[in-house]
Structure 1
Amino acid sequence: MKNILVPFDFSALAMHALGFAADIAAASGGQVVALYVLNVAPVFGANLDSHGYGNNTAAMRADPGREAAARFEKVRQQLKGNIRPGFRVERGLLHQAILRVIHETEADLVVMGTKGSSGLAELLVGSNTEKVIRTAPVPVITVHKALTVSSIRNIIIPTAADSGQQHLMRQIKALQAFFGARLHVLYVKTPDEKESDKALTDILESYAAVHQLSDYSTHVTHAPTEEKGVLKFSKRIPDSMIAMGTHGYTGITHLMLGSVAENVVNHTREAVWTYRLPGARS
């Protein structure tokens, strides 16, 4: 967590994300870049510049960027601690700009403020946060409120105890070491699950042993869906972050299968760390 990217729009949620990212950078010896995206739609017609925008809009596009930079300088001065985030202005669609800047800056973490989405927007479009979670090649932490590194004392790991998750668990163990947190390995037992709670607990203990977990506990909770089980359990664990892998489904596959991780991000008040699993489709 040395090169942290924070999508930034001057909202309260973005300020929460920036503050948390700065605190992480201070603890890791890293740096933070805030990304402000001008969502300017191309103009189709004559007199286009080399980027497909009307030539007469160049000055108009430059002014918002300069105004944002001046405004961010005031934000920078208000931040506590020694971290002084960089500031970058891009144009285009937000999630595409984020992915581009991740590669250009070699960011290893994205921290985003989100209010989630629900209803028809969640089903058909989803939020920019969801799109980043599905496609980002690095971990993404979503926050809904102000946080500090010291406020994260527990990490909840919802799992089906699948094999082949060595890379994900290495990432989560590094996350645990950074925060000095206790792990809570969680299995959500839905109505179609036939195994007993005892059998599921034994599976979780074996899973923990395979991945050589320390300072952990295992839990089985009952719920109609995996998402509801994670949300219910997280309310019982104070000062927590939820850590989940995501398969990164997009298009029609996403509409059919969705993602438990994205649903949790949309409906929890806790911080959520997500990581697109190796081999996931984007």
Structure 2
Amino acid sequence: MKHREGGPCPVLAGHQKNSGRDYTNIVYASCLNQNERAFAQAVKNTQAMYNSKVHLVRINTPMNFQPDHDVRRIMQEFARKLGLKDFTMNIYNDRSEEEGIQHFASSINADLIAMATLGRTGFAQFLVGSIAEDVVNHLSRHVLRYVTS
């Protein structure tokens, strides 16, 4: 989805209406890409609005594994460059990114999951699918999604 200036914009998706619920715990699932600056601002705005804690998480999978010490160093630099405040840094191991996000969000009783995803279309979307779509379809939590190029 694109906003008026032609760039990406965040989209809130979920199965239920918010019904006045606060987003006190926000999971920020990230591949730690510096191109997430605009999305990080949307997460920070949501955090400020609800006085939330952000739980930055990197999901380690067998096919996309990185040592904890490397991920923590990259995560600290990512958070510093994006100006994140009141956050935790988490590395969660699971069989897939979708399962890891779901299990981590459940383990901290998250109210909202924020994800920046690569915009795939056509055959690439068919082959790879969308982690964000899978998370939205399998959880009752709201997902704040941002598609990047």
For this structure pair, what is the TM-score category when the shorter chain's length is used for normalisation?
Answer: 0.7 to 0.9
Which residue in the other structure is 1:221 paired with? 92
Aligned pairs for 1:176-195 within 5 A: 176-195=47-66
Preserved contact between residue 161 and residue 207 of structure 1 (Cα < 8 Å)? yes
- Choose the corresponding residue for 2:120, options 228, 249, 255: 249
Q: What's the CA shift for 1:199?
A: 2.4
Deviations 1:178-232 (A, max 9, x none): 2221100000000134532232122212211111110000100001111110011
Q: Name the counterpart of 1:197.
A: 68
> What is the DSSP-based 3-state SS (H/G/I as helix, E as strand, rest coil) of the residue aligned with 2:35?
coil
Partner residue of 2:18 out of 125, 131, 147: 147
Question: Number of aligned pairs?
Answer: 147
Deviation, 1:139, is: 2.3
Distance of 1:157 and 1:176 partners within structure 2 = 11
Note the residue ranges of structure 2 that are not aligned, 5 or more in a row.
none
Identity, in percent, stands at 27
1:157 is paired with a residue whose SS is: strand
Let me know the Cα RMSD of the aligned residues: 2.3
- Distance of aligned partners of 1:250 and 1:193 in 2 relative to their CA distance in 1, 3 Å threshold: closer
With normalisation by structure 2, the TM-score equals 0.86
For the pair 1:268 / 2:139, whether they are aligned, the reply is yes
Q: Quick check: which has more Rg, 1 or 2?
A: 1
Q: Distance in 2 between matches of 1:190 and 1:221?
A: 9
CA distance in 1, matches of 2:133, 2:97: 12
SS of alignment partner, residue 214 of structure 1: coil
Matches within 5 A, 1:15-164: 137-164=8-35
Q: Which runs of 4+ in 1 moved over 4 A?
A: none
Structure richer in helix, relative to its length: 1
The question of whether the paired residues in 1 share the 8 Å contact of 2:9 and 2:147 is answered with yes
Could you list the runs of 5+ residues in structure 1 that have no partner in the other structure? 1-98, 107-135
SS at match of 2:95: coil
Q: Which amino acid aligns with 2:9?
A: V
